[in-house]
Structures are given as structure tokens and as C-alpha cells.
Amino acid sequence: MSAPTAIADEPRAAQRLAWARSASGDPALALERASMDAGFRSYWRAGAGAASRIVMDSPPALEDVRPWLRIRDLLEAGGVRVPRVLARDVDAGFLLLEDLGTDTCLQALPRLDADALADAAFDQLLRLQAIAPPADLPVFDAAMLRRELALFEDWFLGRHLGVTLDPDERRGWDAVQTHLVDAMLAQPRVLVHRDFMLRNLMPTGAGVAVLDFQDAVYGPVAYDVACLLRDAFHSWPQARVQAWLDRYHARASAAGVPVPAHAHFLRDVALTGAQRHLKVMGIFARLHHRDGKPKYLADAPRFLAYLDAVVPSEPALAPLGALLERHVRPHLAAR
């Protein structure tokens, strides 16, 4: 698949502008790009100041807006702060949203108090985890977890590094996958955002708002905590992460979220994070090679560092450590 250009072509741009003018009631409205995510949605700022709004453009043939709306409504009903929808044309793939500002929490991080930010994020996460998932919400099951792990082998090792596993490496990698999947399936399940990290949180006057929630599933309780504290785009000092893990566990226990005992929970976060880091490395390689978006691979060393913090303390992950040493570390060191 080539880089997504459909949302930038002239017919789509004209359709987007015409819809935004109609939805806002302003025939002179102009749009400027606000952001574009790693998929096919794009966001456009309409107006300025207090009157500013955001147009979400989600071309139906590429990325249906209905899952986003469905989860947004579910989260809002559960008290999670999500963007308000001011107008919609679901069939055309356009939404008019409130404008939550220009900076995500990742971009605003230098001017935010980190501990207050963590507590605000936990506020939203605990509300999210308390929501009863719809019966038809996808389950983060073994098949899904293994598909995600396959991204690391297929795209990062295979496509990006040109590595084909030998028989011993294959046996070891299969054992690692089974260990990670079993550890995640053994956890209590809650509603899971799947990308609960700084770039998907927006600072507001009263905490944070949550974005990019459309891929929510019913899955491991440690997953979103691992996303937040082992962020794909920002590394926190370990002492701070440990303090926040303690803080989250205490708050979750008090709120009735089904977290296990503290030591067990810490191990769950570590192993869940390892599965996610491997998946994201594969996704970033795919974004580079398939979608023409190379910038994400610049964060690959971060994931290696995260894995380095987990592998030595978990004997079952020794084959993963060997793969990283033989294939990944030399590549990153040569960059």
C-alpha cells in the first residue's frame, strides 16, 4: 500500500471545506491542517480563538468514523473527558468537534507538572476502566495478541532488518510469544484504550481529555498503565515510573478496579509492556516501509531500552534477549 494521499486530493479537500462551512454556518470559513494521525484520519482547524473548531476527516473507504463515535459515546457516558461532537455527517466521514487546543500532553510536557499530569491521566483511566464493555466489544484474545507480535517478526525483523529466524531462534521466539500471551490472558480484564499515552491526551483547564480511543477492547488491566508509563514517545525516569505505579495501584484498588496484588501487578505491567513494545516496533517499521512514514522508527532505541529493563528479570524471555543482541542492537548501534 502506498502512502495515504486520498485525504489530500482536490475533490476531498473541496468536499471537506464545503461541509465545514455548512456545518459551522460560516460561508467564509477557511481550514488549516491541525494534525494527521498514523492512519487515514486528518484534522483541520476551522476558525480562531474561542470560535475555533476541529474538523475530523475520516474518508469512509479508508477509515470508518463509526467506531470512533461509538467508543466516544461510551466513554462520555462513563464520565471520561472526550471531545464533544458539534456536528456530524457519518456517511461522508466528517465530524465537527470542539477544539481542545494545539498541543497534546506530549507537546505541552515541558510546561506541565509531571505528577499532576500523572494523577489527571489516572483520573481518566480509572473512569475508563470502570465502564462495563459492550457485549460485542472485541476481546484482546490470544489471536489478537499473536497478530500484534507477528508485526515485530514480519515488519521489524523481516522487512526492516532482512532477518529470517533460524530453527533455534524460531523455537525461542515461539516460546517467548506464548509466555507473553499467557501472562496477559491471565490478568483481570477491563475496558482497554490500547493507546493511552501522552500524545493521545490533551491538557484542559480541569485535567486531561482523551483522544484516539476507537480501537478500544476488553483486555488486560495492566495494558493502559504500561502504555502511559512506558510511553512510545517519551521516557520517564525509572524512580518516577515506580512511584506512579505505586500510586496507580493504590488508587485502582480503592476504586474497585480488579488489579492483582502489588508485586504481581508490577510483573504484569512489565510483561504487558514487553508485548506492546514489540508490537509497536513492528508497526513503526510498517509505517516506514508500507506507508512512507519513516519518522516513527527514530524511536526504536527507546523500545530496546524498555525491553532491556524487562528481559533480564524474566528467564522465559531469554530467547528474546538473544534475538535483540544478535539482530536488533547491532543495527541500532550502526545508525
pLDDT tens readout for residues 201-225:
999 989 999 999 999 999 999 999 9
Place of cell 515506580: 242
Domain boundaries, the chain: 6-98, 105-333
In the predicted structure, residue 6 carries a pLDDT above the cut 50: no
Q: Do 105-333 and 6-98 have the same topology in CATH?
A: no
- CATH number for the domain whose boundaries are 105-333: 3.90.1200.10
Of the CA atoms within 13 Å of residue 164, those in its CB half-sphere come to: 0
Q: Which residues, 6 or more positions from 225, have their beta carbon under 8 angstroms from its beta carbon?
A: 125, 245, 248, 269
pTM of the predicted model, to two decimals? 0.91
Tell me which CATH homologous superfamily contains domain 6-98: Phosphorylase Kinase; domain 1 (3.30.200.20)
What pLDDT was estimated at residue 4?
42
Task: Give the integer Cα–Cα distance in Å for 217 and 203.
Answer: 24
CB 2 within 8 Å of CB 292: yes
Mean pLDDT of 176-194: 99
What phi and psi, each to the nearest 5 degrees, are found at residue 92? -85, -15
Of the CA atoms within 13 Å of residue 253, those in its CB half-sphere come to: 10
Mean pLDDT of 293-313: 96
User: Exposed (0-12), middle (13-18) or buried (19+): which is 78, by Cβ within 10 Å?
Assistant: middle
pLDDT tens readout for residues 66-92:
999 999 999 999 999 999 999 999 999
Please name every residue paired with 191 in a beta bridge, in sequence order, or none if there are none.
218
pLDDT grade, residue 38 (50/70/90)? low
